[in-house]
Structure 1
Amino acid sequence: MSQSQSAPKKKRAPAPLRPSSSIVLLSPTNQVLLLHRVKTSRSFAAAHVFPGGNLDAFHDGELPAIDTPEVHQDSAAYRLGAIRECFEETGILLARPKGSSPGTTTMSLVNVPEADRETSRRRVHDNKVRFDEFVDSVGGTPDVEGLMPFTRWITPANVGRRFTTQMYLYMIPDGTAGGGEAREMTIPTPDGGVEHTAALFDDAATWLARAASGDDILFPPQVFLLHLVNRFCPGSSSAPPPADAAAAREHYAAQRRGLVAFLGATPTSSAAHPSSAIPWAEKVMSPQSLFVRGSDSRIVLGLDKPGPELRGSTRGGDYERVVLVKFTGEGPRQVEVRSREDVFREHRAEEEADKDGPKL
């Protein structure tokens, strides 16, 4: 067989997935925490991200084999890894006192003195002490029950570094609002420039506006989840809380109740698609390019597929919405969540206009 008649090259297999977890962390006033990653980071360089990272068997326990469907399920290891990474990256320890009941709105998080906290962050990061042993030593229990699954994201097959990331929602209980202990626990600090240069709570609407203006870099998963949170926790500029303290607490509590109900409700959309039967707590998103818009050269990403590893399963994402994005040398820009129906209608109109345009 001549070289020109040789068999076509086999399609390269997708890079293996790395299990990871992240937290959409809400303050007592329902602001969202984002971290500004260093420019030299191998993943999401210079972007603003939710706290989280790769799982570590030393701290988090063993996971199912990476080539099995079970690795894409919420589990104790994903939950412990999310809480550990949050502590390493921000200093916020999502742990309740030993013997306390999980899930109570008046629960307070364990307080760790600042000097001990900073030393322990480094020791946990450097694997000098197991995370669960550290939490036990300060009289706490990781509040894994307080984590609520909030979609899973699987990196597209054509990307070199790939992750299967379990996202969680955690609402810092308003029992931590007020008093010295609360201020200690809810003010995040970066990790000394190891992975992040800043850590800040702000309204979801503010983060989205900063990304839209080009001030901050947000990747599609961050924009998508902030978009959902903003529906229920729009921030003080558009939904100011009452001046009365008790009424303000109820204001934020009502926002939280709406968001929690949303996570478990089905159908998730009006579209007649199988993914609408999957609650947000169980959706799996693996963005795929659908087409490039002629009007602004933005890629349209579909979110209904769960990725090659889960092809043929009953898992799925969100059919009703798509994400528009322009990838540049400095990262994603002009990221926007839109209705799939509206974007496809505009696309068909563009195609018809091209057909009816002047011909030479």
Structure 2
Amino acid sequence: MPAGTPGSARHSSTAAGLKKQPAEPRPSASIILLSPTNQVLLLHRVHTLSAFPSAHVFPGGNLSAFHDGDIPPPGDAGRHADSLPYRLGAIRETFEESGILLAQHMCAGGDALLNLPSADRDEARRAIYENKERFVDWVERVGGVVDAENLVPFTRWITPEATPKRFTTQMYLYMLPLSSSEDPAIAAAQSEAMIPTPDGGVEHMAARFDDAASWLEKQRKGEIILFPPQYFLLQLISQFLTGPPPPSAGSVNNLAAGVTEHYAWQRERLRGFLDAVPTATEPRAAGHHTAWIPWKDKVISPVTLGLRRSDRRTILGLDKPGPELKGTERGGDWERVVLVKFGKGVVRDVEVRSREEVLAEERKAERAAEALKL
């Protein structure tokens, strides 16, 4: 059937007439990057961008067939699943945007990352951004291998269908080795240095590591902008990444070993969380099929459930996987919702709450409003 006719791939017939189909989501990937002290890297986007202006975001971006290999086409189930192109894209974009290279030395053992001079990194970032050399070829040429194996899947987000620009974004968690704090790019990010991005700073102004709880607190104070996916994921991991250990007496060597063990323990708990089911604790939520999808496999396409009567914030449900995966067994998180107030290009007052509690509050508010009419 020709494209554009009723019932074709682009349009479907409804009682109200022709309804345009959602835009095809573009494959992208992003990394929640943990420092050796389990802080999280966020990039500050400039205010002139059309997508997420002025927001703090995880490093990542669109997949590239030139750099990342064959990308599953629309309609292919693999387009919305973890695969090597998504992993390569996530690592490449992180390198382009922050200079942090998630690659190991080809001949060395252990988990130490390949460390190159900053000047060499910056030159490569420009060349890769401009497609002058394939990312994996450059990594191999300098004696490294991309560390795709140590990426841990941590949800996929598909943009709601009403949005003109849509993405299917695979999120990953990557834990920098506990011994890698001497890396110059990591040190620069920790000091909130301006990063020499390949496009001259058009997309990102700075990169910084901070505690997950600190990022959330800055958002609550209005100091930074976090969109719902970033806020939601930071909220989840903040349960486990709770900062440094409390002060204790002992020798310098024993204290250092204790600190390392503390951060390793946090990471182990977080890894267990990503694999565990059920993911819900409330009885009704635990009975929903999404509770039996581990966090590493959840697919979330936010859906508006309504507006709060009390503060007019939008209530976003997180259990649906999006139109592309409708009718499959995939899904997100039924137990929680995100409350958010949308403005022109910005969001504020983001909060994660229990779905049951929020909807119960709305029913109570509705009954109170009806009583006032009597």
TM-score (norm 1): 0.92
Matched, 1:135 2:139: yes
Range moving further from structure 2, 92-101 or 41-50: 92-101
For 2:373 and 2:317, the matched residues in 1 are separated by: 32
Question: Which residue in 1 is equivalent to 2:124?
Answer: 120
Identity percentage of aligned residues: 56
Once the two structures are TM-superposed, the CA of residue 139 in structure 1 deviates from its matched residue by 1.1
CA distance in 2, matches of 1:119, 1:241: 42
Q: Is the 8 A contact 2:99 2:185 kept in 1?
A: no
**Local SS of the residue matching 1:10:** strand
Q: Which of residues 43, 54, 60 is equivalent to 1:35? A: 43
Match of 1:297 among 312, 317, 320: 312
SS in 2 for 1:231: coil
Q: Secondary structure at the match of 1:187?
A: helix
Give TM-score scaled by structure 2 length. 0.89
CA 241–142 in structure 1, closer or farther in 2 if over 3 Å, else same? farther
Correspondence 1:167 to 2:171: yes
Alignment-derived partner of residue 296 in structure 2: 281
Match of 1:14 among 12, 19, 22: 22
Q: Which runs of 5+ in 1 are unaligned?
A: 1-5
Match of 1:309 in 2: 324
How far is the alpha carbon of 1:185 from its aligned partner?
Answer: 4.1
Rounded Cα–Cα distance in structure 2 between residues aligned with 1:7 and 1:350: 34
Q: Is the 8 A contact 1:111 1:184 kept in 2?
A: no
Quick check: 2:97–2:204 contact (8 Å CA) kept in 1?
A: yes
Given residue 46 of structure 1, which amino acid in structure 2 is its aligned partner?
S
The one-letter amino acid paired with 1:325 is V
**Structure 2 residue aligned with 1:73:** 81
Runs of 4 or more consecutive aligned structure 1 residues displaced over 2 Å after TM superposition: 6-9, 181-190, 239-243
Deviates more, 1:8-17 or 1:286-295: 8-17
Contact map agreement 2:118 2:184 (CA 8 A) in 1:
no
Residue-by-residue CA offset, 1:42-85 (whole Å, 9 max, x unaligned) = 31111110000000000000111122221000000000000000
* Alignment equivalent of 2:34, drawn from 26, 32, 54: 26
SS at match of 1:309: helix
Cross-structure match for 2:372: 357
1:96 to 2:101 alignment: no
Amino acid at match of 1:187: A
Aligned counterpart, 2:363 = 348
Match of 2:252 in 1: none
C-alpha displacement at 1:124, in angstroms?
0.5
Flag the 1:296–1:77 CA change in 2: closer, same or farther, 3 A: same
In structure 2, the partner of 1:3 is: none
Structure 2: gaps (5+ residues):
1-13, 250-254
- Give the Å deviation of 1:149: 0.1
CA RMSD, 1 decimal: 1.6
1:230 paired with 2:238, answer yes
Look up the SS of the partner of 1:11 in the other structure.
strand
Q: CA deviation at 1:234?
A: 2.1
By how many angstroms is 1:213 displaced? 1.2
Give matches, 1:190-205, under 5 Å.
Answer: 190=195, 191=197, 192-205=200-213
